[in-house]
Amino acid sequence: MNLQAYLDIQPEIKAAVEAGKPVVALESTILSHGMPYPQNLEFGRQVEQIIREEGAVPATMAIIDGRMKVGLTPDQLELMCKGENVAKVSRRDLPILLATGGTGATTVATTMILASLAGIKIFATGGIGGVHRGAETTMDISADLQELAHTPVAVVCAGAKMILDIGLTLEYLETMGVPVLGLDTDEFPSFYCRSSGFGVDYNAKTPAIAARIAKTKWDLGLAGGLLIGNPVPEQYAMDFNEMSAVIDKALAAAKADGIKGKATTPYLLAHIVEYTGGRSLATNIQLAYNNARAAARIAVELMKL
Residue 271 in contact with ligand PSU, rule: CB under 6 A: no
88 is catalytic: no
**DSSP strand pairing (67-70 vs 57-64):** antiparallel
Q: Write the burial class of residue 136 (CB in 10 Å: 0-12 exposed, 13-18 middle, 19+ buried).
A: exposed
Residue 282 interacts with ligand PSU (CB under 6 A): yes or no: no
Pairwise CA distance, residues 203 & 31, whole Å: 30
Residue 129 binds to ligand PSU (criterion: CB under 6 A): yes
Residue 9 C-alpha from the chain's centroid: 20
108 is a contact residue toward ligand PSU (CB under 6 A): yes
3-state class (DSSP) for residue 262: helix
What are phi and psi for residue 227, nearest 5 degrees? -115, 125
Q: How many residues are present in the chain? A: 305
Q: Which does 169 bind (CB under 5 to 8 A by kind): ligand PSU, Mn ion, none?
A: none
Give the range of 124-132, 207-215, 218-226, 292-300 binding ligand PSU by CB under 6 A: 124-132
Regarding 93 and contact with Mn ion (CB under 5 A), the answer is no
Instruction: Give the residues across from 9 on adjacent strands.
Output: 70
Other CB atoms within 10 Å distance of the CB of residue 32: 27
For ligand PSU, which residue of 44, 58, 71, 127 counts as binding (CB under 6 A)? 127
Q: How far is the CB of 105 from Mn ion (least distance, A)?
A: 15
Beta bridge partners of 63: 68, 104
Strands 180-183 and 202-204: parallel
Indicate whether 140 belongs to the interface with Mn ion (CB under 5 A).
yes
Other CB atoms closer than 10 Å to residue 49's CB: what's the count?
11
Min. distance of Cβ 151 from ligand PSU in angstroms?
13
> Minimal distance in Å, beta carbon 87 to ligand PSU?
12
Near ligand PSU by CB under 6 A: residue from 83, 104, 126, 189: 126
> Which residues of this chain interact with ligand PSU, rule CB under 6 A?
27, 29-30, 34, 90, 107-108, 126-127, 129, 142-144, 161, 191, 262, 265, 269
Site residues (vs Mn ion, CB under 5 A)? 140
As annotated, the active-site residues are 27, 161
